[in-house]
Amino acid sequence: MIRHIVFFTAKSPENIDAICEGLALLAAIPHSITFEVTRNSRVDLYGNDIDVVVYGEFADQEALDAFKAHPNYAESVRRVRPLRDIRYAADIVVPEKQEGPAT
């Protein structure tokens, strides 16, 4: 499984809702196991620079690639790119759990 996490900062606070709306287009893409777009709750004591967080889980690299190839992805990028300042992305590969011997 791959956990795909993307952090966005808005060029202006007035853009945050429009960024969330543009990213919400991604939820209609069928290749994710889990998909969320949310505003940062800003409860961290040391850093709250991030405005919007995207979190998705994908079965494998092929599913993530298909997600990014979907027309909604291109439309989301078209809408969000002019409104955002910084975009940080991380993909975390989660190994399948190995069953150990019964005890």
Domains of the chain, first to last: 2-93 (3.30.70.100)
Least confident of 21-25, 47-51, 60-64, 83-87: 47-51
Identity at 88, one-letter amino acid code: Y
The confidence score (pLDDT) of residue 52 equals: 98
Apex CA 3: angle with CA 15 and CA 29, to 5°? 60
Average pLDDT of the segment spanning 17-24:
98
In this model, does residue 103 exceed pLDDT 90? Answer: no
pLDDT band at 100 (very low <50, low <70, confident <90, very high): low
The whole-angstrom separation of Cα 55 and Cα 36 is 5
Query: Exposed/middle/buried for 56, CB within 10 Å: 0-12, 13-18, 19+?
Result: buried
Q: Which residues pair with 89 in a beta bridge?
A: 6
The model's pLDDT over 60-81, given as tens digits with 9 standing for 90+, comes to 999 999 999 999 999 999 999 9
Phi-psi region of 21 (alpha: psi -120 to 50; beta: other; left: phi over 0): alpha
